[in-house]
Chain A
Amino acid sequence: MKRINLLAILSLIGLLAVAPPATAQSGGRGGATTMAKTTQGCWVCMYSNGASYCTGGVPGNWNCNVTLENGCLTSSPGCGAGAMLPLDPDGAAQYVSRGSAIGLTTVMAEGGGPPIRRNCEGVVVARYQAPENIEGIRARTGSLSL
């Protein structure tokens, strides 16, 4: 799949400016620590000593955005301790970035369709829904037979 991960590049720029070295990955609270095998492409919001920062190379995570104020902002609800399992109650995980100091959006068209943004695992995190798509969704979900 062709993918332009501008967000990751921008996150890297921010990481160099504000983040501590990315070595171990904190697995959450309670003093527990988990090490994750690293691969390229994923950027995740981590917490250490009360500070948040972005670190890269963690599989199964969502991208996060570096900011100058808070260290990093989540670009998905699955950031931090929940990062291994991205979830979004609309079931779509089609999360539209809530903005940050680096608020650029990277989109790519798949097969000539509307732009879709995915994370490094292929999960849709943002996409454009054309008016006819929206009408179709409303029509398909106005009444459900289960």
Chain B
Amino acid sequence: MHRFGTAVGTLLALCLPGTAVAQACTSGGLSLEAIAVQALPATFGIEGVATAPGGRLALWSAEGELLELDREHGLIRHHLPDSVRPIGLGIVAEGYRILDERTGREFLLGTGDSLRWMEPVALQTGDMLDRAVWREGHWLLLVRQAAAREFQLRVAGAEGSLYRSAPAESLRTIPRYHLSDAAGLLLLTRFTRPFDVIRVDPATGRADTLAPLTAQLTGIPADSLTHWRALPAVAIDCGMLLTLSDLTSDHRLLVRYSAAGTVDRVTALDAPLGLMARLPGEQTVLAARRTGDLELVWYDWHWAREPVASP
């Protein structure tokens, strides 16, 4: 393994925020203000992101490269062994737990880039693992199950599924979802139209689907909608944010849901930007943006106050 071990990239501005106090919910608009930007290495493409309290975050690429970033050390670049392709990554006290896509084996990347192999995660015959998410000491597995032709959300090593989609007509049409956190609940966001966002309670398995975007998508021709993709829904105080991207252009739709799951507002944007994740415990969301090279942008959010009528 090669480790650069030094800060790389151009730190355009990095003033990461501290822990903030939750803001009161209002029915007004939401404002996102860019507070910091971090250019990524020119050869790096984001495959996934993991966040942790304290502003820690890690990105990995399809080629098995890992970037870690925190306030203390800036950006540090790691190269994983060529044979490893992460399908999921978790930030833990000892380092990084990484699940390998090809073998299903887990390993721990520790201090000094030590690599300790662990047991493989148990998969079932016909499982196609789309993504693994480390959460509260367990791997959550996002799986397309070929035999059942279902998408399944499972806890590794546990019986049963937290969520199962309806059976698809074929393997190709098994729906695929992102997974993100939302105040103790899990959010599943369907990659493709109709871009369903499903809230799953991991304790009970209860699931509900946020309001559909049918009306908001009517202006997009059906043959163009096949080129639109959703990024993971990002939970903020009092709601959720969803980025829909046209892969053929810079057109974006930023959807804001209320906490109740209704669509509050849809904003069109003409820029290659996508909201990726919330930093735990902070009033900050993380976005990827392409301005020549790829860069990370930290946005603080603020709720606009409702105008007060004069007596």
Residues of A within 8 A of B (CB): 27-32, 34, 36, 47, 50, 70, 73-74, 76-77, 79, 81-82, 84-96, 98-99, 118, 121-124, 129, 134, 136-138, 140-146
- Choice from B30, B43, B128 contacting A28 with Cβ under 8 Å: B128
Interface residues in B, total, Cβ within 8 A: 68
Which of B155-163, B198-206, B209-217, B290-298 is near enough to bind chain A? B290-298
Q: Which of B79-134 contact A (CB under 8 A)?
A: 82, 101-102, 104, 123-130
A87-B229 in contact given A129-B291, A141-B297 (Cβ < 8 Å)? yes
Interface assignment of B49: CB less than 8 Å from any CB of chain A: yes
Alpha-carbon distance A70/B85, docked complex (angstroms)? 14
> Is the CB–CB distance between B125 and A30 below 8 Å?
yes
Interface assignment of B56: CB less than 8 Å from any CB of chain A: no
Chain A residues with Cβ under 8 A from B267's Cβ?
144-146
Interface assignment of B220: CB less than 8 Å from any CB of chain A: no
Give the shortest distance, in Å, between A100 (CB) and chain B (any CB).
11
> Is the CB–CB distance between A90 and B62 below 8 Å?
no
A95-B45 in contact given A30-B127, A32-B146 (Cβ < 8 Å)? yes
> Is the CB–CB distance between A137 and B272 below 8 Å?
yes
A124-B126 in contact given A74-B62, A85-B192 (Cβ < 8 Å)? no
Q: List 22 A-B contacts (CB under 8 A).
A: A27-B146, A28-B129, A30-B123, A30-B146, A32-B126, A77-B62, A87-B229, A89-B274, A90-B272, A90-B273, A92-B273, A93-B245, A93-B247, A96-B293, A118-B248, A134-B291, A137-B271, A137-B290, A144-B267, A144-B269, A146-B32, A146-B267
